[in-house]
């Protein structure tokens, strides 16, 4: 099974790994680990087989994971299409309540004009909003809360044709 982001917590820091062992630990191809070495993952020496210290492997993967994070500031919503936090177009967003405590903040990306979403709890909403203009809307009724369905049938149990 191939993982998109290798979990650095699986690495034993007091152990040395070969390229093949590191690849099997994360369920990736050995060429992926070799790419990490070319990108700056330190090895023990330049001899074969290539050995990687567990502590350096864990540190490399941890730095790589934190480098790719893009936290949103107050008033920003992450646009998946642009891969960056953005202020919604017109500084306007809509809060659509999903449960009693959670809801979605919905806006339009100013660059790609796609819909952008951010999950937010009502208690943290003032910290997330910043200076955005927010409209609150009711969530659509769920099936479990809707009226019971009507029976549209010509079949009568007591009568026979």
Decide if 144 is inside a domain: no
Decide if 149 is inside a domain: no
Decide if 1 is inside a domain: no
DSSP string, 48-100: SSPEEEHHHHHHHHHHHHHHT--PPPTT-EEETTTTEEEPPGGGEEEEEE-SS
Rounded Cα distance, 53 and 145, in Å: 56
Q: Which of 47, 77, 58 shows the shortest CA–CA distance to 11?
A: 58
Domain of residue 94, residue span: 77-139
Strand partners, 121: 102
| 90 and 59 both lie in a single domain | no
Which stretch, 18-22, 87-91, 101-105, 153-157, has highest mean pLDDT? 18-22
| 82 and 56 both lie in a single domain | no
Q: Specify the DSSP element, H or E, that contains 32.
A: helix 30-38
Decide if 146 is inside a domain: no
Look at residue 142 and tell me whether its pLDDT is greater than 70. Answer: no
Specify the DSSP class assigned to residue 8. G
The confidence score (pLDDT) of residue 53 equals 93
Look at residue 93 and tell me whether its pLDDT is greater than 60. Answer: yes
| 60 and 87 both lie in a single domain | no
Give 54's pLDDT tier (boundaries 50, 70, 90).
Answer: very high
């Amino acid at each position: 099974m191939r993982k998109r982001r290798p979990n650095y917590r699986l690495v034993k820091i007091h152990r040395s790994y070969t390229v093949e062992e590191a690849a099997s630990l994360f369920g990736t191809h050995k060429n992926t680990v070799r790419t990490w070495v070319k990108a700056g993952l330190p090895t023990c020496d330049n001899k074969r087989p290539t050995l990687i210290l567990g502590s350096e492997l864990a540190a490399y993967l941890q730095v790589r994971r934190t480098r790719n994070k893009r936290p949103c500031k107050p008033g920003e919503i992450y646009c998946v299409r642009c891969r960056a936090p953005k202020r919604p177009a017109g500084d306007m967003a809509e809060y659509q309540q999903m449960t009693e405590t959670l809801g979605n903040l919905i806006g339009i990306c100013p660059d790609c004009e796609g819909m952008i979403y951010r999950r937010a709890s009502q208690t943290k909403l003032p910290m997330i909003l910043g200076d955005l203009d927010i409209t609150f809307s009711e969530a659509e009724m769920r099936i479990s809360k809707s009226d019971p369905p009507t029976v549209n049938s010509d079949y009568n149990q007591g009568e026979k044709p």
